[in-house]
Amino acid sequence: MSTTFTGSTATGTHRAVRSGGARANPAVVLTIVYAGALAVLGLWWANTLSVSGLDGWLTGAGRITGLLAGYVIAVLLALMARIPALERGVGSDKLARWHSMGGRYVVGLSVAHTLLIIWGYAVADGTDVVGETVTLNLSYPDVLKATVAVLLLVGIGTVSARAIRPRLRYETWFHLHFYTYLAAWLAFGHVLATGNEFIGNRPAQVAWYALYIGVAVVLAWYRFITPVRHAFRHRLRVTRVVREAPGVVSVHITGRHLDQLRAEPGQFFRWRFLTRQLWWSPNPYSLSATPRRDALRITVKDLGEQSRRLARLRPGTKVVAEGPYGAFTAAHRKNRKVLLIAGGVGITPMRALFESIPASPGDLTLLYRARTPADLVFREELEAIAAHRGAALHYSVGPRDVTGDPFAPRTLTALIPGLRDHEVYVCGPSGMTGSVISALRAAGVPSRRIHHESFEF
């Protein structure tokens, strides 16, 4: 890897950044989720005296998949409710992966529930599947609503598929997902109206209501009410827009009592700039500098019309910010030595961490990969930080056929003495992030010491 600048060893330990609040343990969260799934299965077991015949096995399986689908969709909504303890402890990146995986389960369970129930009832009534489908939708309470819910979930799952999602604008994908709320509401009534486990079972009904009402409350509070409260309290507005590199700008934002947001370097907000073209769509952008009491800064690369418009923001533009979100912070750092690896616009949160993460001289290193020298964002700032903190700063610039693989295990091991003993933070395009993580593991860095954040939505 080409090294164009290495900081001197001048100063002492940098000040620690204040922790932002309570953090949920990912293992505890998963334990609670799995315990809830077992409780749902227990509800079916307690209300099923026996299962016999093909129709009994089919409808029994259909009820189980239906109950689990109803439970999982509530869990998915809770995971994406922007609950601060989850965002800080689990991290938005991991929550998004859980949500994506859970979404596939919901779609699969919902479709299986629909097909199994129709087939089971058709066997019991001695009719064909098509006729039974019509009968169920027109004769049973709330079944037609449930059918619409399943179709909505299948549609949302389709647009989220890996083959389709990259072709969609972030804003389109984001707004289509609001139909999940409608699907959950339509399915909720169906479960209570036709589920054998709930008919005449008051405790089960109360528990199901408590689950969905609880999720609705946290969704309303953290996704809608809290951003409005913050907008009135902090009065955010744009002060200036600065060009950092070709197609990259920094937006400087000021406001009141910003320390009360308890934002940490490495975190991001979902920003809604109140202009005619931008107000309707919040977009996630990381802080690119340590947050101050009266100022925040984000840095954005031109990746589409939405981000391109940010370069034309005028001073005084009002801003609504949802957050802070993410667990890509110094709070998860356990080891004394720290290695930061950034690619492209992934330097944005790394710039803030490089400035603030506690480290003694010689214990902090930043590796920064860019296509051309002109693409090196914050070059002067990074070099000043490196000199001030006694940190090492390495660049890898140029096409890969010229520079080779800058993140090969052998290269990393040679460049970073004691690589295995480092806490490593990685941020960049998904392809680069994946190859770097694989290289780090091959070089002997334990997975628990590798922290990463993806820009994929």
pLDDT digits (tens, 9 = 90+) for 117-151: 999 999 998 999 999 899 988 888 788 888 999 99
H-helix segments, 357-406: 379-389, 400-403
Place of tokens 């408590």: 210
Question: Taking 70 as the threshold, does the pLDDT of residue 87 lie above it?
Answer: yes
Q: Which uninterrupted H or E stretch holds 219? A: helix 202-219
Number of domains forming the structure of the chain:
3
Please tell me the predicted confidence (pLDDT) of residue 8.
Answer: 36
With 0-12 / 13-18 / 19 or more C-beta atoms within 10 angstroms meaning exposed / middle / buried, residue 356 is: buried
175 within domain boundaries: yes
Question: Taking 60 as the threshold, does the pLDDT of residue 10 lie above it?
Answer: no
Query: Which residue did the predictor score with more confidence, 343 or 22?
Result: 343
355 within domain boundaries: yes
* Per-residue tokens: 335: 């080891």
Nearest to 59 by CA among 73, 47, 71, 77: 47
pLDDT tens-digit map of 366-402: 999 988 888 899 999 999 999 999 999 999 888 776 7
Q: Are residues 102 and 174 in the same domain?
A: yes
Please tell me the predicted confidence (pLDDT) of residue 456.
Answer: 52
Angle between helices 53-79 and 92-125 (to 10 degrees): 160
36 within domain boundaries: yes
Domain that holds residue 373: 330-454
Percentage of the residues of the chain whose pLDDT score is greater than 90? 51
Q: Are residues 45 and 129 in the same domain?
A: yes
> Average pLDDT in the 322-348 region?
89
Q: Are residues 67 and 206 in the same domain?
A: yes
Question: Taking 50 as the threshold, does the pLDDT of residue 332 lie above it?
Answer: yes
Q: Are residues 62 and 181 in the same domain?
A: yes
